Amino acid sequence: LAARGAFCAASTHLEPLKGFAATDPRARNASVEFDAERLEPTFRLVYDRPGQSYALAIGARLGLPPALIATAQAHRTTQGRALQALLARLDARDRQDAERAALMERREVETAGLLTRAQEEREAARAKARETVARARTDAARLLSDVRRAVNEEWERLKESDRTREHLERSRKRLLAESQRVSDPLTEEDVGYRAGPPAPGDHVQIAHLALTGEVMTVEGASATVRAGALTVKVPLQALRVIERPSVAAAPSRAAVPSRRDVRGPEKAGVAPEIRLIGRTSDEARDLLEKYLDDAFLAGLPTVRIVHGKGTGTLRRVVHELLAAHPLVAEHRPGAPREGGDGATVAQLTVGT
């Protein structure tokens, strides 16, 4: 049918046909997901995964005699039982991946919630700081008004004295300058903030202290700031560099990433050998286990694992995995033409 270009949908339990669909680019496996614990379908279609039969498991749950179930199991081929074990492991791996994905999604939602609350708290703190600064400016303006009134009264009483008049004149000028600083403060619209870390000489705002001042020194992650008669040492992250507003182009929005096409893995032939040289033990174990699964589905009877000689650690890891793997019938060191002690040849259960 494939050679004639026919379009065909086949429902089967034949393992060779499943292996053909797994390795030939003209065919593709698909199965309906089945909950092995509850023994009921989930009705979710899974592509590139051959299905497996749960008839015996369902029969046992329905009360068929154990001897009958055992007899039926005995009639299954070694390849069929190995494929059943492989598919069971793949299903378990998929469930673990789904659980990890659900956990990551929950953590992302929790993180987003924490970020939202942090932003709300930051805005509330900024609003409170603005209110505190406005109240302080009002109080300062009132105080200067009282002081100016008192000085004017004192001036009227002591205007005959030249020395006193000169002294009060200087006081009046100082008070006028201070009054100008309070009565004409920088508003929120007047102030701009420069991105980047502060440097000595920069004018900065210390938001949590409702102060502005000049950076004297920067040491590591903190800076020394002089705000009037007060000198404080604060973290750099608590400072915002102040600059007068200037006409600048509005920052462009970051481009929204376009949605990518989601495609399944491409079909590819399975090589008769795998090279693990340079891998760690954990990496080699994961790669080899996946390779054995793929080689079994591709119908390879024998595979070669190239692990090198080195300290012998990779060779020991490979031999331990092959000895316990259900898809491996036997394994042996490589012959001289196969890589000698630097390689291991494994015979799979395909066709046995």
Q: Is residue 137 in some structural domain? A: yes
Axis crossing angle, helix 162-183 with helix 78-158, rounded to the nearest 10: 150
Query: Mean pLDDT in the chain?
Result: 76
Q: Is residue 93 in some structural domain? A: yes
Residue 154 and residue 102 in one domain: no
Q: Is residue 95 in some structural domain? A: yes
Indicate whether 70 pLDDT > 50: yes
Q: What separation in angstroms does the CA of 99 have from each of 24, 85, 102, 104, 345?
A: 31, 21, 5, 9, 36
Can you read off the two tokens belonging to residue 231?
């000198």
- Cβ proximity of 181 and 187 under 8 Å: no
Residue 22 and residue 91 in one domain: yes
Q: Is residue 115 in some structural domain? A: yes
Report the 10 Å Cβ neighbour count for 209. Answer: 16
Last residue of a domain, one of 108, 136, 160: 108
Residue 28 and residue 102 in one domain: yes
Sole residue written with tokens 């749960």: 54
Residue 125 and residue 103 in one domain: no
| Domain that residue 278 falls in | 273-348
Residue 102 and residue 123 in one domain: no
C-alpha span between 49 and 97 (Å, rounded): 15
Residue 117 and residue 142 in one domain: yes
Last residue of a domain, one of 123, 156, 189: 189
Q: Is residue 77 in some structural domain? A: yes
C-alpha span between 8 and 30 (Å, rounded): 13
pLDDT at position 183, please? Answer: 46
Report the 10 Å Cβ neighbour count for 219. Answer: 9
130-137, long-range: CB within 8 Å, 24+ apart, which pairs? 130/188, 132/210, 133/210, 136/210, 137/182, 137/185
Does pTM top 0.75 for this prediction? no
Q: Is residue 80 in some structural domain? A: yes
If one counts the domains in the chain, the total is 4
Q: In CATH, what number is assigned to the domain containing residue 226?
A: 2.30.30
What is the phi/psi pair of residue 252, to 5°? -75, 150
DSSP H helices in 159-209: 162-183
CA neighbor of 91 nearest in space, from 18, 32, 9: 32
Residue 62 and residue 98 in one domain: yes
pLDDT at position 2, please? Answer: 81
Q: Is residue 61 in some structural domain? A: yes
Can you read off the two tokens belonging to residue 23?
């390795």
Indicate whether 251 pLDDT > 70: no
Residue 137 and residue 181 in one domain: yes
For residue 27, the 8-state DSSP code is -
Residue 74 and residue 47 in one domain: yes
Last residue of a domain, one of 69, 89, 108: 108
Residue 89 and residue 22 in one domain: yes
Residue 80 and residue 127 in one domain: no
Residue 125 and residue 104 in one domain: no
- Per residue in 147-172, pLDDT tens? 667 666 655 655 555 544 555 555 55
Sole residue written with tokens 């390689």: 343
What is the phi/psi pair of residue 347, to 5°? -100, 125
C-alpha span between 305 and 342 (Å, rounded): 9
Q: Is residue 7 in some structural domain? A: no
Report the 10 Å Cβ neighbour count for 20. Answer: 17
Can you read off the two tokens belonging to residue 254?
């970051």
- Per residue in 208-240, pLDDT tens? 666 788 899 999 888 998 876 567 788 888 888
Mean pLDDT, rounded, for 40-55 = 81
User: What is the sign of the dihedral through the CA atoms of 163, 168, 171 and 173?
Assistant: negative
Q: What separation in angstroms does the CA of 225 have from each of 8, 198, 316?
A: 78, 11, 63
User: pLDDT band for position 316 (50/70/90)?
Assistant: very high
